[in-house]
């Protein structure tokens, strides 16, 4: 099971709409539904627990090419 980000962090006070998207199970970057099966490894699951980003957005932000 994915661990959601700590929504008590100051960033979510500054960007409350991000917190709402994460609460709704959506990526704060692209607003798509988070699918646990998309995460490729422990590092991507850990990044989700920090940023709330889906695997696709993580790949884009960190410059990893993926095929969909």
pLDDT at 65: 64
pLDDT at 66: 56
Residues 34/26, Cβ–Cβ less than 8 Å = yes
Q: What is the mean pLDDT, run by run of 10 residues, along the chain of 68 residues?
A: 93 95 97 95 95 95 71
Helix (H, G, I), strand (E, B), or coil: what is residue 55?
Answer: helix
pLDDT at 64: 74
pLDDT at 40: 87
pTM of the prediction?
0.85
Question: 19 CB contacts (<8 Å, ≥6 apart)?
Answer: 7, 12
Domains of the chain by residue range: 10-61
DSSP 19-30: HHHHHTTB-TTT
């Amino acid at each position: 099971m994915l661990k959601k980000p700590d929504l008590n962090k100051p960033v979510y006070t500054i960007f409350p709409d991000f917190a709402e998207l994460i609460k709704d199970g959506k990526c704060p970057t692209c607003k798509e539904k988070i699918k646990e099966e998309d995460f490729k490894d422990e590092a991507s699951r850990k990044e989700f627990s920090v940023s709330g980003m889906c695997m696709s957005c993580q790949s884009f932000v960190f410059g990893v090419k993926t095929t969909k």
